[in-house]
């Protein structure tokens, strides 16, 4: 089996689900780096950076007495943030799902097939664990880690701003605040560029297909992160319910003008536009959709970055914008 839709489904559902209460993390207590003129690339932490009190996305407070040198990440997005902050060498445990940057493949896995092996986590002797919220790291595991007295930060960003905040949170934790600020600035600039390029172009009703099986379509949930990205990319997203499910009748009523097949990222048979169109047309009720009639069914190959709430989410935004408004982007980066 090339892809395992069931095990990928959960991470895909993450941006589509409304969590009842997921407080945006308070801005981390400012470290001393704010007063340093230039970011210090030295290994030794600046004296005033620790101890630092951090508040994570779940509202939990964590006090770090010293700089963490052994970091375990329980979600690919967290791994990417750590590496983007040039602290990849501190990772001692990752998930078997992690694929970026390529060097993380050599790091030991502590999460196998979405199941956290607490024994391996403990064996890695971490001084910081980056977990994921919304049950991606199961509550039972978090409780166990707490009981063992291990330092855990729970991250669950649902908007771009929250992604930036998480980057800065990890930056503060790892004494990489300047790098974090630079990264956030860079991402904000790129987002602004996309918005500017899209400008006032017409916003087509767009269905982003996350998953389809037996007549049930999963797409961006109403108010979800993915829906927000689609809007930023210049589309009017066709949304489903809180779980992202959209029924056949609502789909017909919404009548998308453009369909982006996120599933094509995992299903090679959908990579070819012609085949994709045929497959989609064969689904009952879909043949009358405007997008299908007009042949506006686009195999979308960047689903991973579009649904992973890490630094490359902006790559995803750019890919979305290019797919929705190709005419506005002559030469893609």
| Out of 48, 63, 105, 140, the residue judged to bind other proteins by CB under 8 A | 140
The answer to whether residue 122 forms part of the interface with other proteins (CB under 8 A) is yes
Q: How far apart are CA 194 and CA 234, in angstroms?
A: 9
- Closer by beta carbon to other proteins, 154 or else 277: 154
Contact between 138 and other proteins (CB under 8 A)?
A: yes
User: Binding of other proteins at residue 123 (CB under 8 A)?
Assistant: yes
Which one of 117, 127, 193, 222 is in contact with other proteins (CB under 8 A)?
117
* Beta carbon of residue 112, minimum distance to other proteins (angstroms, whole number): 6
53 DSSP β-pair partners: 63
313-324 and 177-198 helices cross at what angle (nearest 10)? 10
Q: Single out the segment in contact with other proteins by CB under 8 A; choices: 130-138, 183-191, 259-267, 322-330.
A: 130-138
31-39, 117-125, 191-199, 276-284 -> range binding other proteins (CB under 8 A):
117-125
Q: Which two tokens stand for residue 297?
A: 């069914």
CA atoms within 13 A on the CB side of 150: 25
- Residue 24 near other proteins by CB under 8 A: no
Nearer to other proteins, 108 or 274 (CB): 108
Order the strands of the 258-261 sheet from edge to edge: 236-237, 205-209, 258-261, 297-299
Give me Rg for the CA atoms of the chain. Answer: 21
For other proteins, the closer CB: 26 or 123:
123
CA gap 228, 98 in Å, rounded = 25
- Cis link prior to 51 (omega < 30° from 0)? yes
Contacts of 271 (CB under 8 A, 6+ apart): 264, 299, 301
Stretch that binds other proteins, among 83-91, 134-142, 157-165, 266-274 (CB under 8 A): 134-142
Query: Contact with other proteins (CB under 8 A): which of 59, 185, 215, 326?
Result: 59
65 binds other proteins (CB under 8 A): no
Please count the helices (runs of H) and the strands (runs of E) in the chain: 12, 15
Select from 139-147, 157-165, 283-291, 325-333 the region that touches other proteins (CB under 8 A): 139-147
Q: Which of 134, 168, 224, 306 binds other proteins (CB under 8 A)?
A: 134
Residue 88 makes contact with other proteins by CB under 8 A: no
| 20 scored as a contact of other proteins (CB under 8 A) | yes
- The secondary structure of residue 114, as a DSSP letter, is T
Q: What is the Cβ-side half-sphere exposure of residue 162, based on CA atoms within 13 angstroms?
A: 21
Cβ atoms 315, 305 nearer than 8 A: yes
Is 115 a binder of other proteins (CB under 8 A)? yes
Q: HSE on the CB side for 111, CA within 13 Å? A: 24
Tell me which residues in 213-242 interact with other proteins (CB under 8 A). Answer: 242
* List of residues contacting other proteins (CB under 8 A): 10, 13-14, 17, 19-21, 23, 58-60, 112-120, 122-125, 133-135, 138-140, 142-144, 146-148, 152, 154, 242-243
């Amino acid at each position: 089996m090339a892809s395992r839709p069931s095990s990928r489904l959960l991470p895909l559902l993450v941006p589509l689900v409304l969590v009842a209460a997921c407080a945006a993390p308070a801005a981390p207590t400012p470290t001393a780096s704010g007063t340093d003129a230039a970011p210090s690339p030295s290994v030794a932490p600046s004296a005033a950076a620790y101890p630092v009190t951090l508040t994570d996305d779940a509202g939990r407070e964590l006090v770090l007495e010293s700089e963490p040198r052994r970091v375990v990440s329980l979600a690919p997005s967290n791994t990417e943030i750590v590496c983007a902050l040039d602290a990849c060498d501190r990772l001692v445990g990752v998930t078997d799902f992690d694929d970026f940057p390529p060097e993380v493949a050599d790091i030991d896995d502590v999460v196998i097939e979405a199941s956290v092996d607490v024994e391996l986590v403990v064996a890695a002797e971490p001084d910081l664990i980056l977990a994921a919220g919304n049950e991606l790291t199961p509550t039972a595991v978090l409780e166990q880690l707490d009981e063992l007295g291990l330092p855990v930060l729970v991250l669950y960003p649902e908007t771009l701003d929250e992604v930036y905040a998480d980057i800065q949170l990890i930056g503060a934790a790892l004494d990489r605040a300047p790098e974090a600020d630079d990264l956030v600035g860079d991402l904000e600039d790129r987002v602004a560029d996309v918005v500017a390029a899209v400008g006032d172009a017409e916003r087509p009703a767009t269905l982003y297909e996350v998953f389809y099986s037996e007549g049930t379509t999963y797409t961006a949930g109403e108010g979800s992160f993915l829906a927000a990205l689609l809007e930023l990319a210049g589309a009017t997203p066709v949304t489903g319910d809180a779980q992202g499910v959209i029924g056949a009748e609502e789909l017909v009523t919404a009548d998308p003008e453009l369909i982006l097949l996120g599933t094509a990222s995992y299903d090679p048979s959908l990579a070819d536009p012609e085949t994709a169109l045929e497959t989609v047309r064969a689904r009952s009720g879909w043949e009358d959709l405007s997008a299908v009639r007009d042949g506006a069914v686009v195999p979308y190959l960047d689903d991973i970055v579009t649904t992973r709430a890490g630094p490359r989410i902006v790559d995803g935004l750019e890919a979305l914008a290019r797919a929705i408004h190709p005419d506005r982007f002559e030469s893609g980066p």
